[in-house]
Amino acid sequence: MPAYKNSIRFILDGKITEIDFEKEGLSPTQTLLHYLRSLPGHKGTKEGCGEGDCGACTVVLGELINDKIVYKAVDSCLIFLPMVHGKQVITIENLATHKTGKTILHPVQQAVIDENGSQCGFCTPGFIMSIFALYKNETKPSAELIRNALAGNLCRCTGYHALLKATQKVFKEKKEDHFSKNEPKVKALLTGLATKDVITIESRGQRYLKPFTCQQLLELKKTFPDALIVSGSTDCGLKVTKKHEVLPLIIDISDVAQLSVIKKTKNIWHIGAGAKLEIIRNAVKKDLPVLYDMLTVFGSKQIRNMATLGGNVGSASPIGDTLPVLFAHNATVVLQNTKAEREIPIAGFITGYRQTIINKDEVITAIRIPVPDKNSFIKSYKISKRKDLDISTVSACFNLELNGDKVKQIILAFGGMAACTQRALKTENFLKGKVWNEKNVQTAMPLIEKDFSPISDARAGKEMRMMAAKNLLMKLLLDTNEKQIK
């Protein structure tokens, strides 16, 4: 296995590309998007928002997982270049093939043309890459799956109807493409790129460290306690693209395989901190349906293909969407340093606005979520301006257990109502032991004012937040009644 110093290697245009950051004067936090656009043949990847919201920069990454190439649509504007080490980068320019002066379009490109799926064309490469990733991963996607795959791409002029039709059309006559034919060659190249040695990049005054094992990661965090951990980079990426920060010291944990493990032991889901949200979403659909529901309205497919659960917990944002769900499930956070491991209940882990109890030499290695008791009724709600690809104004997850018609236990966890995710403890205490009916819920609703004093910001006024939180309690009652009727 080769050792890499100041350099990374990946596949682009079917060949191995090597970048030596120091020699080429490149910053290790250069985004994949900017790198691609600096090349003569890759300007089809567009820059729109630069923050993961428009999908114009969508490319597909091919990754070797269990001897199979898995294709994922991602926003290249949020990816630091070293994150693509050992992967295949596929851009819009790679889709068509060229033979003796003739261009043969990929079936996805042809379907978009046939269905008039492009007007100004700015969004088109991004849409085609999202449809292409779906084409590589599915055989007969449902309408819901297609909509879900396109939710991370914005189009201002063609509109979605033609693009949805094009996607349906391409699956009707699905055939093998040149990527399938070339897979054995690409697999061999990817296998040759694998390494288990830490990659160290020092360039333009920045130090970027990329471990591959947990042990390496913990040693690095001990040596460099001030290093910024970057996992999916869907939060950290914005520090560079929007705030123009120069990050001096980074530990990139996106390829630490042990952190991606997802397994169920007894009645507990152990989710590695580095597991990608889209993979978690598919794994827990049956056992943790409320987490599945929340992840379905989390960002977009491109975001979920990169973002991790450890990143959502680690950022401790007051509007982190998985947090109320983890509170309502009594989840725990596993922290580790070189010497020991400790397991902390999620409510004790978060201490304030984007603050946690994590020590500088520790990393989050996993989140443990108990499978809910069959007597618990758990429900999550996300209130945002639009359903897809929007952050929450208010989010909530409630866990209710009844004894007969009385409340035995209740957890009311809210996001967007305080500086961090919090339970409405006064309201919970009032409801405990009471009959779960409209009268008592109506009486409990004003108590939410004693639990929270939300702020007004660009997303909503404090009055709206308060009203939404109270009404969600009533919604829970209506949803429990509906469940009983069923």
Ligand X SMILES: Cc1cc2nc3c(=O)[nH]c(=O)nc-3n(C[C@H](O)[C@H](O)[C@H](O)COP(=O)(O)OP(=O)(O)OC[C@H]3O[C@@H](n4cnc5c(N)ncnc54)[C@H](O)[C@@H]3O)c2cc1C
Q: How many chain residues interact with ligand FES (CB under 6 A)? A: 23
For residues 31 and 336, which CB has a smaller minimum distance to ligand FES in the complex? 31
- Residue 432 CB neighbour total at 10 angstroms: 12
Does 155 bind ligand FES (CB under 6 A)? Our answer is yes
For residues 249 and 478, which CB has a smaller minimum distance to ligand X in the complex? 249
Min CB(314)–ligand X separation in Å: 3
x/- track of binding to ligand X for residues 44-83 (CB under 6 A): -------xxx------------------------------
For residue 181, the SS3 value is helix
* Cβ partners under 8 Å of residue 266, min gap 6: none
* Gap between the Cα atoms of 251 and 232, Å rounded: 12
x/- track of binding to ligand X for residues 402-441 (CB under 6 A): ----------------------------------------
Question: Could you tell me if 270 and 324 are in contact, meaning their C-beta atoms sit under 8 angstroms apart?
Answer: no
For residues 215 and 437, which CB has a smaller minimum distance to ligand X in the complex? 215
For residues 116 and 267, which CB has a smaller minimum distance to ligand FES in the complex? 116
Pick the closest to residue 469 from 402, 389, 413 (CA basis).
Answer: 413
Q: How far from chain centre, in Å, is Cα 355?
A: 20
For residues 44 and 232, which CB has a smaller minimum distance to ligand X in the complex? 232
x/- track of binding to ligand X for residues 300-329 (CB under 6 A): ---x--xxx-xxx-xx----xx--------
Question: Could you tell me if 29 and 83 are in contact, meaning their C-beta atoms sit under 8 angstroms apart?
Answer: no
Bridge partners, 354 (sequence order) = none
**DSSP label at residue 227:** P
Q: Which does 158 bind (CB under 5 to 8 A by kind): ligand FES, ligand X, none?
A: ligand FES
Does 287 bind ligand FES (CB under 6 A)? Our answer is no
Judged by CB under 6 A, which of 28, 44, 52, 211 binds ligand FES?
Answer: 52
Q: Which does 50 bind (CB under 5 to 8 A by kind): ligand X, ligand FES, none?
A: ligand FES
Residue in this structure with the two tokens 């035995």, named with its chain if needed? 408
CA dihedral 289, 294, 296, 302 (to 10 degrees): -130
Question: Could you tell me if 8 and 24 are in contact, meaning their C-beta atoms sit under 8 angstroms apart?
Answer: no
Min CB(261)–ligand FES separation in Å: 29
Min CB(31)–ligand FES separation in Å: 9
Region of 151-159, 204-212, 255-263, 264-272 interacting with ligand FES (CB under 6 A): 151-159
Does 123 bind ligand FES (CB under 6 A)? Our answer is yes
* Gap between the Cα atoms of 315 and 321, Å rounded: 11
Judged by CB under 6 A, which of 5, 156, 161, 263 binds ligand FES?
Answer: 156
Q: Which amino acid is at 290?
A: V
Does 211 bind ligand X (CB under 6 A)? Our answer is no
Kindly identify the residues of this chain, within the stretch 75-94, that bind ligand FES according to CB under 6 A.
Answer: 75, 77
Does 230 bind ligand X (CB under 6 A)? Our answer is yes
* Gap between the Cα atoms of 305 and 427, Å rounded: 37
Token digits for 369?
């979520």
Does 112 bind ligand X (CB under 6 A)? Our answer is no
Question: Could you tell me if 211 and 220 are in contact, meaning their C-beta atoms sit under 8 angstroms apart?
Answer: yes
x/- track of binding to ligand FES for residues 12-51 (CB under 6 A): -----------------------------------xxxx-
Question: Could you tell me if 229 and 314 are in contact, meaning their C-beta atoms sit under 8 angstroms apart?
Answer: yes
* Cβ partners under 8 Å of residue 215, min gap 6: none
For residues 33 and 283, which CB has a smaller minimum distance to ligand FES in the complex? 33
User: Strand ranges (DSSP E) for 80-187?
Assistant: 88-90, 97-99, 102-104
Q: How far from chain centre, in Å, is Cα 1?
A: 30
Min CB(307)–ligand X separation in Å: 4
Question: Could you tell me if 28 and 21 are in contact, meaning their C-beta atoms sit under 8 angstroms apart?
Answer: yes
Question: Could you tell me if 77 and 47 are in contact, meaning their C-beta atoms sit under 8 angstroms apart?
Answer: yes
Judged by CB under 6 A, which of 8, 19, 26, 57 binds ligand FES?
Answer: 57
Kindly identify the residues of this chain, within the stretch 273-302, that bind ligand X according to CB under 6 A.
Answer: 273, 298-299
Question: Could you tell me if 37 and 43 are in contact, meaning their C-beta atoms sit under 8 angstroms apart?
Answer: yes
Residue in this structure with the two tokens 């990929």, named with its chain if needed? 106
Q: Which does 314 bind (CB under 5 to 8 A by kind): ligand FES, ligand X, none?
A: ligand X
Q: How many chain residues interact with ligand X (CB under 6 A)? A: 30
Residues that bind ligand FES (CB under 6 A): 47-50, 52-57, 75, 77, 118-124, 155-158
Residues that bind ligand X (CB under 6 A): 51-53, 228-236, 253, 273, 298-299, 303, 306-308, 310-312, 314-315, 320-321, 363-364, 391
